[in-house]
Amino acid sequence: MSQEVDFLILGQGLAGSLMAWELIARGQRVRVVDREEEATSSKVAGGLVSPISGGQLALTWRVDEWLPVAVQRYRDIEAAMGGAVRFYHEVPVVRFFRDEKERGQYEKRCVDQAYARYVSAAPDELSYEPAIFAPSHGGVEIAQGGFLEVREFLAAVRAWLVEKDAYQVAEFRESGLEKEESAGMRWAGDVTIAKGIIYCQGWEVCQGGGPFSWVPITPNKGELLTLESKDLPVDRIYNGGMWVSPRSDGRFRAGATYGRDTDPPGPTEAGREQIEAGLRRWCRASYQVCGKEAAFRPVVRGRKPVLGTHPEDPRFAILNGLGSKGVLYGPALAAMLADHLLRGEAIDPEVDVRRFWK
């Protein structure tokens, strides 16, 4: 299958899928290469988006700018896939406070208008079914949250790419790349690459001696459960440290743990116990666990994503380090990189990969 493309994209996780979309939308010829592992960060991800997040109950970084881009992009992609299936679901997030310190954090922050506009029910307005939820310290409802059904989204993007002859199942190895000339490159003998290669391999981008092995990306293990429950409501995400989120198939996801790069791959009993113990602190719903999954998130030092071109060879680009917020950050960052590659527009210095160069 000899082919000339403008860009070769390595990996079809969230980063590679969104990157392919942005480039194809700008008239580029792409090929996406993925080795189709069963459990990757994107396939396992809960896919949650919340404008207020973390133990500090802070406004999520860049949410005002990047949330509208993300929602619009998922709607665009759904429309391009025929419009019959929704992958991104907008639902409020009920955030139960774990302790009085968290309630205090919220009370300090909510006087700021930029913050308060994401609050759809203050603690004294919050209603929930007391037979199902028993938070000890109250909570708050956050507007404009949502979740992407990531595995289904990736499968649809894959089918769309296959239809365009823009997808290949393969393991990419640097040794298969001919890059002597300063302009074009060839990969695996039969793909000629006119403009560049975009590294979207998740945490593995630093392995295998590629051009971005200097970027400080660490794998962070996460585990997650799939639940069946007749009790849990389907119209909200509930989060009290551990969260539970509805799915369109009637099941629920619950998670997630944050582990280390040295943890063994695959779901563990300890992970399951940690998630269930976290839920039991505020959730009385009965449920059955019908699935356990685990994968490694790509996390960059400082926790901000990385994108841009290699400082010494601009034929190589990267989009990575989406951490635990790939669904929110991915669309705006893929668009930023596409505009940089094709129109020379600036990369925001806070996310520019060059901040880690030498």
Ligand X SMILES: Cc1cc2nc3c(=O)[nH]c(=O)nc-3n(C[C@H](O)[C@H](O)[C@H](O)COP(=O)(O)OP(=O)(O)OC[C@H]3O[C@@H](n4cnc5c(N)ncnc54)[C@H](O)[C@@H]3O)c2cc1C
Q: Which of 135, 196, 278, 298 binds ligand X (CB under 6 A)?
A: 298
- Cα separation, 83 vs 85, whole angstroms: 6
Count other Cβ atoms within 10 Å, centred on residue 214. 13
- Cα separation, 274 vs 164, whole angstroms: 43
Lay out the site mask for ligand X across 189-228 (x = CB under 6 A, - = otherwise). -----------xxx-x-----------------xxx----
Q: How far is the CB of 225 from ligand X (least distance, A)?
A: 10
CB 189 within 8 Å of CB 288: no
41 binds ligand X (CB under 6 A): yes
> How long, in residues, is the chain?
358
Stretch that binds ligand X, among 42-50, 87-95, 266-274, 338-346 (CB under 6 A): 42-50
Stretch that binds ligand X, among 38-46, 158-166, 185-193, 274-282 (CB under 6 A): 38-46
- Region of residue 356 (left: phi > 0; alpha: psi -120 to 50; beta: else): alpha
Q: Which residues pair with 178 in a beta bridge?
A: 186
Q: How far is the CB of 125 from ligand X (least distance, A)?
A: 26
Cis preceding linkage at 256, omega within 30: yes
Cβ proximity to ligand X, 48 vs 341, nearer residue: 48
Q: How far is the CB of 209 from ligand X (least distance, A)?
A: 11
Count other Cβ atoms within 10 Å, centred on residue 248. 13
Cβ proximity to ligand X, 22 vs 103, nearer residue: 22
CB 202 within 8 Å of CB 213: no
Cβ proximity to ligand X, 35 vs 109, nearer residue: 35
Torsion of CA 166, 172, 174, 177, to 10 degrees: -40
Q: Which of 92, 145, 326, 331 binds ligand X (CB under 6 A)?
A: 326
Stretch that binds ligand X, among 8-16, 78-86, 125-133, 272-280 (CB under 6 A): 8-16
Parallel, antiparallel or unpaired: strands 185-187 and 177-178: antiparallel
User: Which chain residues interact with ligand X by CB under 6 A?
Assistant: 10-16, 33-35, 37, 40-42, 44-48, 171-172, 200-202, 204, 222-224, 255-256, 295, 297-298, 320, 322-328
